[in-house]
A and B are shown apart, each in its own frame.
Chain A
Amino acid sequence: MIDSDATPVEELTRRTFFKLSTAGIGSVALQSLLAAQEKSAPHFIPKAKRLIYLFMNGGASQLDLYDYKPKLDAMFDKDLPPSVIGGQRLTTMTSGQSRFPIAPSKYKFKQHGQSGAWVSELLPNVARHADEISFIKSVHTEAINHDPAVTYICTGAQIPGKASLGSWLSYGLGSENENLPSFIVMTPSWSGQREAQALYNRLWGSGFLPTKHQGVWFRLKGDPVLYLSDPPGVSRESRRQMLEALVRMNAREYDQGGDPETQGRIAMYEMAFRMQSSVPELADFSKEPKHILDLYGPDLQKPGTFAHSAILARRMIERGVRQVQIFHREWDHHGELPRDLSAQCRDVDQPIGALLTDLKQRGLLDETLVVWGSEFGRTTYCQGKLTRDNYGRDHHPRCFVHWFAGAGIKPGVSYGETDDFSYNIVKDPVHIRDINATILHLMGIHHKRLNFKFQGLDQTLTGVEEEAKVVKAILA
């Protein structure tokens, strides 16, 4: 892990702060430390220390990316047999369609690596890592619309109010560093059409968990963390002087009032001051070697792109951030899918390939779990006008693809199978709860044992009553 180059001022401050802020630490703090250890996860030795979650918001098409269905070619524009649709509920966007014509993917698929994983031509760089990836092709959910579906996968419930995955990790595992938040979220720009589905702060919110566990949204333009910069004209030295006096006065307040929370506040100001230098240092990748910069592609130099967030993700992981989640928007391709999907893939493909390479060559992939996924998949039948080269697809909750790579993963696996239409799962279904249980498992957490009493119930990420299973087949 990198120790940032602290300036003399910061060194001085650090010492001053400690001298003052530890003045009053007594048995109370030690007790609470012990209590915290008693309570917190991990429940067993974790395979992964950190997590990078690449989320394609809107519902990436499994049919055009990973779930290769060669038989569909011959069925172009034929009606999807009703027996395949079964009694499924459809969104009201296509439930009124008079027919459901099959839209085969226009993209070429090839097998890659030793594992022979099928990946579409849209993702050549991801394909190069096929042997490090474990694909789950049988993920399913119940929600058919964006808001409930994405809330479901990110927080374990379709309605707002629950805690997000990253918050659970922060709550369960605590922070690995005190210079940076333990759960960071980025929302890069995109190249598909302008209209994109919404995100919600609740997707990284802490719900019923204490607010300090909520994800910190890391902005790619402006102050990376809200209110990080000192006001214009205020120097670091100036801030330090102000803080030193603040700490002295707060320490006296502690002597007067005896409230341990005052000590907490002193420490909080110290951390804030350190974040003011550690965060800009983190965000500044200009000193990375050229070959690394090249790896992430030309978009890297544009602030706010996926490539930009990908390299930052690596730098965060390196500095001990527990979870980084990148939400890339506009994967909701009801019409003109080829135009938008190819643009979206161009955004993410090279940076994802680069991220995997970069993590690997630094030895970080051994302790970092990388997950790629979406809130649901897309239909095999066309929404709107269908030609060989142009089509749209509606939401499809019955089967879609997630992939895992890195720490604790058995690489080169393809788990779960769908029918010839990529419409129904025929083997090894994996519910989104299982995806979450598996992520927690890799982080050393038993999904039922990491819980929090709220509204009289032991809340967990996988629900109060529902069953969830760890997908053992993809574990190393």
Chain B
Amino acid sequence: MASTSRTLLAALLAFAGAEAQQTPKSAALPERVQFNRDVRPILSENCLKCHGPDARARKADLRLDTKDGTFGALEEGRFAVVPGNLEKSELWKRITTTDSDDKMPPAKSGKKLTKQQVEVLRRWIEQGAPWQGHWAFQPLQEPPLLKPRDGSRVRNSIDQYIQARLDEENLVPSPEADRHVLARRLTLDLTGLPPTPQEVDAFVNDRSPDAYDKIVERLLQSSRTGEHLARYWLDLARYGDTHGLHLDNYREMWPYRDWVIRAFNDNMPFDRFVVSQLAGDLLPDATLDQQVASGFNRCHVTTNEGGSIEEEVYCRNVFDRVETFGQVFFALTFTCSRCHDHKYDPVTQKDYYGLFAFFNSLEGQEMDGNKKDPAPVIKVPSPDQAHELARLRDAAGKVEARVNGPVPDLDARQADWEKALAARLARQWTRVDRDGFKVSGEDTLDYVTAARAAQAGVRGFLLEILPPDPEPPAEAPLAFTLNELQVDKVKVRAIHVYAAAPDPNVKGVLDGKADTGWAVDARKRPAVVLLPAEPVALKDGAEVRLRLVRKPGQPRAVAPRLRLSASSDLELFKGVTPVSLGPWHLLGRFPAADGNVAFQTEYGPEKGVDLEKAYGELKWTKREDYQDGANLSYPEGVGASFAYRTITAPAPRKFTFNVSSDDAIQIWLNGAVVLARNVKRTFRKYDANKLTVDLDAGENKLLVKFSNYGTTKDHKYVFELIEDDANDLLRDAAAALAVYADRRSDAQKSVLRSRFRRENWEEYKTLRRELADLRGQETALLDKVPVTLVFKERANPKDAFILKRGEYDKRGEKVGRATPGLLPPFAKDLPVNRLGLAKWLIDPQHPLTARVAVNRFWQQFFGTGLVKTSEDFGLQGEPPSHPELLDHLALQFMADRWNVKNFLRRIVTSATYRQSSRVTPELVRRDPENRLLARGPRFRLDAEMVRDQILYLSGLLVEQVGGPSVKPPQPEGLWEAVGYTGSNTYRFQRDPEPQKVFRRSLYIFWKRTSAPPQMTLFDAPSREACTARRERTNTPLQALFLMNEPQCFEAARHLAQKAIKEGGGTPEERAAWMLRRCALRNPTPHDISDLVGVYRSQREAFAKDPEGAKKAISYGDLTPDASIDPAELASWTMVANLILNLDEVVTKK
């Protein structure tokens, strides 16, 4: 079926997506075998699974990853390897035997040594079996500077190593690239964007010796550089704008992204960059920036899936932190050792959990709550916001000082009031029980007494629990759990701890459930106040019965003595007298363009509610059926709606309630703003605003305004009364009064002062209102201040255990914080926490940190690292192509105080980097991946660069550093197709503003379960996991994108408009202008004839199809330039579209 040419095509495609290949093959066997380069990879790949670090999997007690193991005696006096002696080397026998039982590697392993590999092993043994430790774990030592034969091509030390190796291979370096090419390559590499033709010309015409260095300096200062360098790091940090699992809701993390950009732009030394991210929160006096940086360890995916087991989620999150740490800083894969000792690298399971212990003590829930800001988070205000916040806080502070500060004559009156109140409190309680209670029973204790005197209208009882009289000896148990308290014939509506700290458990004694209760110690003489549902009338001599139910099976506590008092004084209870809530009245909807407009606009009720008033068509409607605690609806649709009710209180008191709502909410109490939150959110019943307000005596007016952003069915709210806590008079005031005035705490003083001033000072009300208003403004502003997830250590670190088989519920040995044994020891003076870990990492003795970092920088410029497997420096990774150069660079980097920009400068000013990238057939054959660097780098641009370049060339790119992520258009339905319907990233809504949609790609909103197609089509990762290196493939879907995607096509039109206006009068001039702008070279006559040919044929076709032309130029967001004939513009648009699709344009060469 397939024709020959199709087969060839398939071959081409296969080639285009070139898959993993080995380091440059030198066909010849190495004369002198080098253990690390030649032998270790063979042993690792074929032998270590059974003869490696994992003790449990080890066969025949032989390990070939250590020197002792390799050369030590085996059983029966045999040796695996005897240097220089093939015959006595068991290894040699086993790999060459024909006996299938003895043959190594065994057939079932699926591994087989090639002839070449067998030959390498033979030579190795014959040459005396020299051993080297694994290169990556060896201390860094300055290697001898290699000298190429022809020193004239050397610009810096990089070239010496590269060219010396080329000499070995009998290859010669390529000549320096054409200046046009070089300017483009350099600008793309340092900023992610191409240069302008003017910039290129300036360089081409600058004949000064430092012409090149000047551009390098200019580019390194550009703020584009930080943006470009940041995106590589964001792949490692697995940065995204959603949680990544299950609901995959929005997560606010972009301040971290901006921090990374800033760090690169400020040329932050790499060691500080590392420390801030691993332990910014632990630095002494950590700055806001350092805390933001600690978000690195919060970027991992998280879940809140219903049914998840928290411990499992916790382990999963910590696994991710540990493994990402290993990837980013060690380039080692730790995952294996989660379940057992590593099969290839000397990392034990204990090592793994030693690191786990550094990362497991997050102060916060590991489940993300589906919130944008699962704690710990911090607010990151912009300078303007910080200023405004300070102003509001200052103003509030001043009002507060007035509210709470000294007012001499008032304070004098307060002292009298306190005395009176104390006297009254003392007097108010009248003893009920005549001569104490008679008690019977054991776990259920019945107390009986007779009332001492008649008392009418009892509003509260004070029950004191006392030790028996005389008090039993100290060892007698007097503590027990009081599960139930029953009062005969009286319906008790509430119970509060009296004159002591509140305890929510106390409610358990009234709930009729035997398994809830309150811990009581009669020696501490606890007391409670019981509030009857209705005032009670006590008759003289009436029988009073109480029943205490104690948790059975406790140490047999001695039955306590009880004392019961009663009070009828309303004054004493007014703080907890029930309020009466009027029915809801609703008004709306006032339509608005969006929720924000609704929020900002005043519609009338904000100024004062008049239930009779009509607002155009709209009138208040009464909703008697609305129940507190239920989901209530307010009028549907985008705009503002109001809900109003009265709250009547018999006396001034505090009042606590929750309101949850869809989208923005404002609340007024008696005309003063008590809450203003301009938020756009999905309705959730428990996503509530808990508020405590001061009610005046009599009728209070509560007005709520809802500003709805969406048209969906979420137009709900819930109002819930939070049960009264013991009011300040009962508990706090009584407690405060019980203390001598000069020994009261500030809190106690404040309780009394606010109580007094509330009731006796006219100005109090005004000041409270002012304060509420300022606080309301502060809350509203804080809602707009971005937050970002940070790392924060718990006060008490969690224990860590080895988890058997990596399973969260199979705990083994407890382990402390420790670094892997294969690496240098952890210095004694370092703190044993993440800060110490980070410092250990950047110690100059650490063999990995610098090697790994410089290799990744190298990879950015040359497409492949000196170690190709930049994510794996372990035994299974590839050895470096230029080990000496790698070490040299790592040492230089550290000696230069980890100066990143200096390092990049070193790379781009090397002759190696400046070579032409032209590929000769010989190089294709000998070094298809360009590992030897006999030519300059040449490969397709990364996803971000592809898109950014198109926007830039067309003049559409909007450059602004940082800020919230943006949503350029994407095809409909991508999110819905996968999203959980309840997710807040279920429906994609593009941003309308050009200032957003034409931003650089690193600002595109990254939904991790459906990453932006503009990015993933070009091999960008999903950001669900740490990615050290992107694949680079070519697919037809990329061609479709570049030809047809609306922004790409609109950019082509924009470019065409420019060409028509600025590019000259003739088609030839315009074509040349356009090609020069995009490809940054001088066009050939062939180019011009091809481009003009396309222009002419399109022009002819569009002339016949004016409608088509209009459609073509109207595609996209912006209106086309009306001064240009549509057919003309459409034709040039197609030419621009062609140019933006050219191989040379999407390729860095």
With both chains docked as a complex, state the minimum distance between the C-beta of A86 and any C-beta of chain B, in angstroms: 15
A268 within 8 A of B: yes
The reply on A16 being an interface residue by CB < 8 A is no
**In the bound complex, do residue B1094 and residue A267 qualify as a contact, i.e. CB atoms below 8 Å apart?**
no
Name which residue of chain A comes closest to B345, CB basis: A456
A225/B5 in contact, CB under 8 A: no
Contact A455 B8 (CB under 8 A): no
* Contact indicator per residue, chain A 114-152, by CB within 8 Å of chain B (1) or not (0): 000000000000000000000000000000111100000
Instruction: Confirm or deny: A202 has a beta carbon within 8 angstroms of a beta carbon on chain B.
Output: yes
Q: Which residues of A contact B924 (CB under 8 A)?
A: 28, 258, 260
CA distance A392 to B361 in the complex (A): 38
| A253-308 CB contacts (< 8 Å) to partner B | 253-254, 256-272, 275-276
Contact assessment for B307 and A92 in the assembled complex, using a CB-CB cutoff below 8 Å? yes
User: Closest 3 interchain pairs by CB?
Assistant: A264-B16, A456-B876, A91-B307
For B308, B874, B919, B1039, the residue with the greatest tally of chain A CB atoms inside 10 Å of its CB is: B1039
Chain A residue at minimum C-beta to C-beta distance from B1009: A200
- How far, in whole Å, are A210 and B19 apart by their CA atoms in the complex? 7
Interface residue A217 (Cβ < 8 Å from any Cβ of B) = yes
Question: In the complex where A22-B8, A36-B14, A238-B1098 touch, is A268 in contact with B1039 (Cβ < 8 A)?
Answer: yes
Look across to chain A and name the residue whose beta carbon is closest to the beta carbon of B1019: A211
Q: How far is the CA of A216 from the CA of B14 in the complex (A)?
A: 18
Partner among A229, A270, A448 whose Cβ is within 8 Å of the Cβ of B1044: A229
Known A187-B978, A210-B1031, A230-B1044; judge A29-B336 contact (CB<8 A). no
Contacts A145-B307, A257-B919, A456-B872 given: A32-B14 contact, CB under 8 Å?
Answer: yes
Partner of A263, one of B12, B245, B1101: B12
Name the residue on A nearest B316 (C-beta): A159
The total of interchain contacts (Cβ-Cβ below 8 angstroms) comes to 323
Q: For A160, list chain B residues within 8 Å (CB).
A: 244, 301, 1022, 1024-1025
- Report how far A249 CA is from B1071 CA in the complex, Å: 13
User: Per-residue 0/1 for B970-984: is the Cβ within 8 Å of any A Cβ (1 yes, 0 no)?
Assistant: 011110011111110
A226 to B496, CA, bound (A): 65
State how many angstroms separate the Cβ of A255 from the closest Cβ of chain B: 11
Set A26, A227, A228, A260: member contacting B919, Cβ < 8 A: A260
Give A457 to B334 CA distance when docked, in angstroms: 12
- In the assembled complex, the CB of B768 is this many whole angstroms from the nearest CB of chain A, namely 44
Shortest Cβ distance from residue A88 to the other chain B in the assembled complex, whole angstroms: 12
Q: Which residue in chain B gives the minimum CB-CB distance to A261? A: B16
Q: Could you tell me the distance between the alpha carbons of A272 and B345 in the complex, rounded to whole angstroms?
A: 44
Contact of B918 among A92, A159, A258, A275 (CB under 8 A): A258
Contact A226 B1034 (CB under 8 A): no
- Which residues of B sit under 8 angstroms from A266, Cβ to Cβ? 1143
CB of B294 within 8 A of chain A?
no
Q: Is the CB of B872 within 8 A of A455?
A: yes
Q: What are the residues of chain A within 8 A of B1093 when measuring CB–CB?
A: 245
What's the minimum C-beta distance from B142 to chain A, rounded to whole angstroms? 28
Of B345, B928, B1036, chain A has the most CB atoms within 10 Å of the CB of: B1036
Asked if A362 lies at the interface with its beta carbon under 8 angstroms from chain B, I say: no
Q: Contact at B919–A269, with CB atoms within 8 Å?
A: no
Q: Which residues of B contact A145 (CB under 8 A)?
A: 246, 303, 305-308
- In the complex formed, the residue of B with least CB distance to A209 is B1031
Beyond A175-B10, A233-B1107, A233-B1112, 15 additional pairs, beta carbon < 8 A: A22-B8, A28-B921, A144-B307, A216-B1037, A225-B1037, A233-B1110, A233-B1115, A234-B1134, A238-B1098, A250-B1143, A261-B16, A265-B16, A268-B13, A271-B1036, A455-B871
Of the stretches B214-222, B664-672, B1083-1091, the one at the interface is: B1083-1091
Residues 342-358 of A, flagged 1 when their CB comes within 8 A of B and 0 if not, give 00000000000000000
**Interface: A388 (CB within 8 A):** no
Interface check A222, CB cutoff 8 A: yes
B157 contacts partner chain A, Cβ-Cβ < 8 Å:
no
Q: Which residues of B contact A (CB under 8 A)?
A: 1, 5-20, 110, 244-248, 301, 303, 305-310, 316, 320, 333, 335-336, 343-345, 809, 869, 871-872, 874-877, 917-921, 924-925, 928, 938-940, 971-974, 977-983, 1009-1011, 1013, 1016-1017, 1019, 1022, 1024-1025, 1031, 1033-1041, 1043-1046, 1049, 1084, 1086-1087, 1090-1091, 1093-1094, 1097-1098, 1101, 1105, 1107-1115, 1130, 1134-1135, 1137-1138, 1141-1144, 1146-1147, 1149
Cβ 8 A contact of A194, one of B874, B981, B1044 = B981
Given contacts A198-B247, A229-B1044, A258-B918, A21 and B1039 within 8 Å (CB-CB): no
Scoring A219, A256, A267, A271 by chain B CB atoms within 10 A of each residue's CB, the highest score goes to A267
CA A26 to CA B14, docked complex, whole Å: 14
Question: Is there contact, CB below 8 Å, between A219 and B308?
Answer: no
Cα separation A246 to B240 with both chains bound (whole Å): 36
A89 interfacial by beta-carbon distance below 8 Å: yes
Chain A residues near B248 (CB, 8 Å)?
Answer: 198, 200
Q: What is the chain B residue whose CB lies nearest that of A256?
A: B918
**Quick one: given A210-B19, A222-B971, A232-B1111, are A32 and B11 in contact (CB under 8 Å)?**
yes
A379 to B1039, CA, bound (A): 48
Given contacts A187-B977, A239-B1043, contact A258 B11 (CB under 8 A): no
Question: How far, in Å, is A188 (CB) from chain B's closest CB?
Answer: 10
For A26, what are the chain B residues with a Cβ–Cβ distance below 8 Å?
921
Residue contact A268 to B1035, C-beta cutoff 8 Å: yes
Provide the bound-state CA to CA distance between A234 and B1130, in Å: 9
In the assembled complex, which residues on chain B have CB atoms less than 8 Å from the CB atom of A22? Answer: 5, 8-9
Question: What's the nearest-Cβ distance from chain B to residue A393, in Å?
Answer: 13
A92 to B869 alpha-carbon distance, docked (Å): 41
- A203 and B919 CA atoms in complex are apart in Å by 38
A267 with B12: in contact, given A202-B1024, A233-B1110 (CB under 8 Å)? yes
Q: A205-B1022, A232-B1115 are in contact. Are A449 and B110 (CB under 8 A)?
A: yes
Q: In whole Å, how far is B239's beta carbon from the nearest beta carbon of chain A?
A: 15
**Are B1009 and A21 in contact, with the CB atoms below 8 A?**
no
Among the interface residues B9, B306, B974, B1033, which one has the most CB atoms of the partner chain A within 10 A? B9
Can you report 10 residue pairs joining A to B where beta carbons are below 8 Å apart?
A28-B921, A160-B1022, A219-B973, A226-B971, A241-B1098, A242-B1138, A261-B16, A265-B1034, A267-B9, A269-B1036
Report the minimal beta-carbon distance from A448 to chain B, rounded to whole angstroms: 6
Measured in the bound complex, the distance between the Cα atoms of B1087 and A264 in whole Å is 21
Q: How far is the CA of A303 from the CA of B58 in the complex (A)?
A: 58
Bound complex: CA of A211 vs CA of B943, how far in Å? Answer: 12
Contact A178 B1009, beta carbon cutoff 8 Å: no
A194 to B981, CA, bound (A): 7
Q: List chain A residues, Cβ under 8 A from B925.
A: 27-28
Q: Does A82 contact B (CB under 8 A)?
A: no
Residue on B with the closest CB to A188? B977
Contact flag A261-B1142 (CB < 8 Å), given A210-B1033, A225-B1040: no
For residue A74, CB closer than 8 A to chain B, the reply is no
Q: How far is the CA of A239 from the CA of B1045 in the complex (A)?
A: 14
Closest-CB distance, A225 to chain B (whole angstroms):
7
With an 8 A cutoff between CB atoms, is A252 at the interface? yes
Minimum C-beta distance from B365 to chain A (A): 14
Please indicate the chain A residues that have their CB under 8 angstroms from the CB of B939 in the complex: 261
Which residues of chain B are near A267, meaning CB under 8 Å?
9, 12-13, 16
Q: Is A196 part of the contact surface with B, judged by Cβ < 8 Å?
A: yes
Which residues of A sit under 8 angstroms from B7, Cβ to Cβ?
Answer: 33
Q: Most chain-B CB neighbours within 10 Å: which of A222, A233, A257, A269?
A: A233
- Decide: A241 and B15 in contact? CB cutoff 8 A: no
Per the bound structure, the CA–CA distance linking A452 and B1097 in Å amounts to: 48
Q: Give the interface centre of A147, A181, A223 by most chain B CB atoms within 10 Å.
A: A147
Whether B981 lies near A201 (C-beta < 8 A) is: no
Select the residue from B11, B245, B875 with max chain A CB neighbours within 10 A: B11
Q: Which residue of A lies closest to B319 (CB)?
A: A159
Q: Is the CB of B1040 within 8 A of A272?
A: yes
B1138 touches A246 (CB 8 A): yes
Residue of A nearest to B1131 (CB): A238
Q: How far is the CA of A95 from the CA of B1107 in the complex (A)?
A: 65
Closest Cβ of chain B: how far from A190's Cβ, in Å? 10
Tell me, in angstroms, the Cα distance from A26 to B920 when the chains sit together.
13
